[in-house]
Structure 1
Amino acid sequence: MTSTINYDEKIPNNVGLSSDRRLQRALEGWQPKFMNWWSEMGPTLEAHDVYLRTAVAVGRAGWAHFDHVKPDEYRWGIFLAERDSDRRIAFGEHKGEPVWQQVPGEYRADLQRLIVIQGDTEPASVEQQRHLGLTAPSLYDLRNLFQVNVEEGRHLWAMVYLLHAYFGKEGREQAEDLLLRNSGNPDSPRILGAFNEETADWLAFYMFTYFTDRDGKYQLGTLKESAFDPLSRTCEFMLKEEAHHMFVGTTGVDRVVMRSAQLIREHDTLEIGPHGGVPLDVIQKYINFHYSVSLDLFGSETSTNAANYYTAGLKGRWQETRRDDDHRLTEDSAFLARPRADGTWVTEELSALVTLNLDLRGEYLADCRTGVRRWNRILEEAGISYRFALPHPGFNRSVGVHGGFAITPDGEIIDERVWRHLEHKWLPTSSDLAFVRSLMQPVHEPGKIASWVAPPINGINGKPFDYEYVHLA
């Protein structure tokens, strides 16, 4: 494996694909099916070319090249971070042993399952976002949408490579299935619930790339710790690309809040809907929805599967090697707040091994709070007293200890009928969604932007905001 990427081959890669003719033929056989999926389920808006970054190396510096590329000619490929020949397993019962270059037989099914679930999320987000180009608020935003989409497509390639290279016939079949499931399809939906939700407007897109892609960051971070070295190196490079997706979400919400604050000050009212802005309470409802749906992606707070994955060395903790403990956790404990039917909370002390999902969710929650602080700082600097907040982790949950309970954003356990009566205050209503969608008028002229969102402070790769990032077909 090299740090540079070979674009002379039909499938760009830095894994020496041409040296394994059987694998090369199999992936070249999958490639037309991928292109057919992209044609049918990828971006609806046709563009002649888009100013995209393309990975040219896997090192820390100078790894990407920017240029205008036709979206259907983007060179999807297989890129792994460089191998550390001295790397050792950092956790679990195999701690200290050399990492695995092949799949141990006893862990084959579990590793395959982890790769399939991760792989299934990548094309799902493309499918969820396929119509957004039709209502892009600027060419800058349209370019970012295409960039996110082509890289999610490449992340699918990354998982498909692992399935083909290490899991034989079953892996090839699972790779086929990744293209057969579709987001929101009633007969063959995506595996995880959040990836079957509709992303019908750009505020939802910004929230998705902030909250749901941030979940992806933490899931990839746990897989980067894996004792299965090809998976670890694959996820390490994916994290490099994923950072831009979260940037799109963070700065996207920044810009919506900024524009709403401008309109509030200009018209001296929080009721800015009639003036073409997104009211702050509607933004809060979007935060509540996307945050709570994304929390479900972490799974149940207690999980024997997570414990087994950790003990086996398949999936570690976020920044495992920086943790100050024995990295086995057999004697460690954690505390879980559990709702009770009488409307009270009880705190239980449990094994740290079975609460690994809770540990990961805690890292995610702390990260999400940084965004809320950013958005509140914008309001504070504008002299506006309104403040955003993350809802209680039990709010609007379908998975884990909170599933089946009616919990308010403040963490109060209430009757289901009362919750339904108050739900319109906390989650986007049909009229909220219809209003936001009414603002989604496309702006495809260089240097122009829709009235509900502020322009970015900086352009892409040193280019100005009015650069022609996309040439439409």
Structure 2
Amino acid sequence: MSTINYSEKIPNNVNLAEDRTLQRALEQWQPNFINWWDEVGPEGSTDFDVYLRTAVSVDPQGWAQFDYVKMRDYRWGIFLNPGSERTIHFGDHKGEKAWTDVPGEYRANLRRIIVTQGDTEPASVEQQRHLGLTAPSMYDLRNLFQINVEEGRHLWAMVYLLQKHFGRDGREEAGALLERQSGDQNNPRILGAFNEKTPDWLAFFMFTYFTDRDGKFQLAALSESAFDPLARTTKFMLTEEAHHMFVGESGVSRVLQRTAQLMNELRTDDPKTIREAGAIDLPTIQRYLNFHYSVTIDLFGADQSSNAATFYSSGLKGRYEEGKRTDDHVLKGQTYKVLEVQNGQLVEKEVPMLNALNEVLRDDFIKDSVAGVARWNKVLEKAGIPTRLTVPHKAFNRQIGALAGIKMSPDGRVVSEAEWAARRDEWLPSAEDFAFVGSLMGRVVEPGRFANWIAPPAMGINRQPIDFEYVRFN
């Protein structure tokens, strides 16, 4: 007899109640998931009632409900965007009918794609687990918790695909997703950025702006997939990902707003004076930006990749907004420019586009990121502050691909080891920066109150006032 009421506990549109095999697999996995949540989910939050958005359908008019929920009782739904008679629109299978089952010859690659995406979801919860203890406001605390439960739901979405379509292998992979841990020496998460620490709220806002934006582009590329369940699952995940990026973009905007306000009140741009006034100076914000941006663009992988070519030609993973592109969607014989270093200089090199698809996606991400940084600069401009934030050169601080280990300044000059060593702390956050920002991280959770280093938001959540009781500490 089933131990879970599926429509109640796991809202879904995948006929979960009728699939006994899948029910049994999820019943075995679910207690391990709850144990994982209790052990490495948001610290000290078990008894909190949080004003959360819960996905209940895929209908744009009524897909989410807002109410107080204990996070470990959150309804981790499984949703696929509505299906339609779809044809594959790129790669070698272009024009064929989209697959509802996994083709045998692509089984290993599809599993690898789903596992890699699935691994990022619990990783970010682990990276952020201590942040609730230093929240700058109740509003921000609630936004952190909303992101945490949605990353948990995205994990469920990937586990559903593994358990439903990959048999014993899928069940083993679903178990392993809860065994790896961010930053663990022996069993780390698959991708480097998801093993970095998120030590403070400025890092969290940069992470949700840049690294969740990587999520947007990866999910959008997967939403083109010829494997219909993956395409429909990731399309719905994108609905929730938008909030994560909003938290990052608006969070950094509010930090800048407060810093600019103090710079004007004190009539200074001296970082030391701004720090002494209890705000985060602009050079420190720039260094955090440089770090999170460079770590995130590494997530797209090597600039030339035979795997990326295989995934595309096989129909497993498309490009961002594949349907809006005007080429032949097969790409054989087409080229793309990538960067490499020759004789100490950066040069552009034409390579087959199929092999450069990671770089195509990275360049789409960069364009999107630059637009958001321009919006941050509008905050400074409006305040009459002449300083502008900049996005570093894409070869800066890279650890993956042809640019890995190249010593490069943020403005795109190849520099010597000596200059890099001398100026590293000018370009990337130093131990002193982390210690200073950490010193500002005192917990502020009275409704309507905000830490000194961040401005209040322009509006509350779901039309609630800013001083609404978003979290009830029971």
Q: Fold match, TM over 0.5?
A: yes
Amino acid at match of 1:468: E
Query: Is 2:6–2:17's contact at 8 Å kept on the other side of the alignment?
Result: no
Tell me which residue corresponds to 2:53.
53
Give % identity.
59
Amino acid at match of 1:122: E
Tell me which residue corresponds to 2:222.
223
SS at match of 1:179: coil
* Matches of 2:202 and 2:405, distance apart in 1: 28
Per-residue Cα deviation, 1:104-136 (whole angstroms, up to 9, x for no partner): 000000000000000000000000000000000
SS at match of 1:53: strand
Tell me which residue corresponds to 1:274.
276
Question: In the comparison of the two structures, how many residue pairs are matched?
Answer: 466
SS at match of 1:441: coil
Matched, 1:101 2:100: yes
Tell me which residue corresponds to 1:295.
297
Q: Note the 1:247-262 alignment, pairs <5 A.
A: 247-262=246-261
* Matches of 2:6 and 2:35, distance apart in 1: 21
Tell me which residue corresponds to 2:440.
439
* Matches of 1:209 and 1:237, distance apart in 2: 19
Amino acid at match of 1:105: G
* Matches of 1:45 and 1:462, distance apart in 2: 28
SS at match of 1:65: strand
Per-residue Cα deviation, 1:187-232 (whole angstroms, up to 9, x for no partner): 1000000000000100000000000000000000110000000000
* Matches of 1:243 and 1:140, distance apart in 2: 18
* Matches of 2:289 and 2:77, distance apart in 1: 34
Amino acid at match of 1:116: V
Tell me which residue corresponds to 1:468.
469
SS at match of 1:96: coil
Matched, 1:415 2:429: no
Query: Is 1:278–1:436's contact at 8 Å kept on the other side of the alignment?
Result: yes
* Matches of 1:82 and 1:298, distance apart in 2: 29
**What is the CA-CA distance between 1:336 and the residue it aligns to?**
1.5
Tell me which residue corresponds to 1:73.
73
* Matches of 2:103 and 2:116, distance apart in 1: 19
* Aligned equivalent of 1:322, options 306, 321, 324: 324
Amino acid at match of 2:53: R
Amino acid at match of 1:52: L
Amino acid at match of 1:296: D
Q: Note the 1:328-367 alignment, pairs <5 A.
A: 328-340=330-342, 342-367=343-368
Amino acid at match of 1:349: E
**What is the CA-CA distance between 1:10 and the residue it aligns to?**
4.0
**What is the CA-CA distance between 1:7 and the residue it aligns to?**
6.1
Mean CA deviation greater in 319-328 or 329-338: 329-338
Q: Structure 2 stretches of 5 or more lacking a match?
A: none
Displacement over 4 Å in runs of 4+? none
SS at match of 1:353: helix
Tell me which residue corresponds to 2:384.
383
* Matches of 1:463 and 1:136, distance apart in 2: 19
Tell me which residue corresponds to 1:116.
115
Query: Is 1:111–1:314's contact at 8 Å kept on the other side of the alignment?
Result: yes
* Matches of 2:448 and 2:458, distance apart in 1: 13
Tell me which residue corresponds to 2:136.
137
Tell me which residue corresponds to 2:310.
308
Mean CA deviation greater in 410-419 or 441-450: 410-419
SS at match of 1:350: strand
Tell me which residue corresponds to 1:170.
169
Amino acid at match of 1:71: M
Q: Structure 1 stretches of 5 or more lacking a match?
A: 1-5
* Matches of 1:188 and 1:417, distance apart in 2: 35
* Matches of 2:48 and 2:143, distance apart in 1: 15
**What is the CA-CA distance between 1:302 and the residue it aligns to?**
0.6
Amino acid at match of 2:442: Q
Tell me which residue corresponds to 1:3.
none
Query: Is 2:11–2:56's contact at 8 Å kept on the other side of the alignment?
Result: no
Query: Is 2:58–2:79's contact at 8 Å kept on the other side of the alignment?
Result: yes
* Matches of 1:11 and 1:265, distance apart in 2: 51
Query: Is 2:7–2:17's contact at 8 Å kept on the other side of the alignment?
Result: no
* Matches of 2:9 and 2:132, distance apart in 1: 29
Mean CA deviation greater in 209-218 or 72-81: 72-81
Matched, 1:12 2:8: no
Query: Is 1:11–1:28's contact at 8 Å kept on the other side of the alignment?
Result: no
SS at match of 2:13: coil
Amino acid at match of 1:54: T
Query: Is 1:208–1:290's contact at 8 Å kept on the other side of the alignment?
Result: yes
**What is the CA-CA distance between 1:443 and the residue it aligns to?**
0.4
Query: Is 2:56–2:77's contact at 8 Å kept on the other side of the alignment?
Result: no
Query: Is 2:12–2:57's contact at 8 Å kept on the other side of the alignment?
Result: no
* Matches of 2:49 and 2:412, distance apart in 1: 48
Query: Is 1:79–1:158's contact at 8 Å kept on the other side of the alignment?
Result: yes
SS at match of 1:339: strand
SS at match of 1:159: helix
Mean CA deviation greater in 51-60 or 310-319: 51-60
**What is the CA-CA distance between 1:9 and the residue it aligns to?**
4.3
* Matches of 2:19 and 2:62, distance apart in 1: 29
* Matches of 1:59 and 1:97, distance apart in 2: 28
What do you get for the CA RMSD once the two structures are aligned?
A: 1.0
* Matches of 1:298 and 1:89, distance apart in 2: 24
Query: Is 2:397–2:407's contact at 8 Å kept on the other side of the alignment?
Result: yes
* Matches of 1:108 and 1:422, distance apart in 2: 47
**What is the CA-CA distance between 1:99 and the residue it aligns to?**
0.2
SS at match of 1:66: strand
Query: Is 1:405–1:416's contact at 8 Å kept on the other side of the alignment?
Result: no
**What is the CA-CA distance between 1:273 and the residue it aligns to?**
0.3
The TM-score, its normalising length taken from structure 1, stands at: 0.97
* Matches of 2:77 and 2:38, distance apart in 1: 17
Matched, 1:372 2:368: no
**What is the CA-CA distance between 1:332 and the residue it aligns to?**
1.2
SS at match of 1:387: coil
The TM-score, its normalising length taken from structure 2, stands at: 0.97
* Matches of 2:418 and 2:185, distance apart in 1: 28
Per-residue Cα deviation, 1:135-187 (whole angstroms, up to 9, x for no partner): 00000000000000000000000000110000111110000000000000001
Tell me which residue corresponds to 1:239.
238
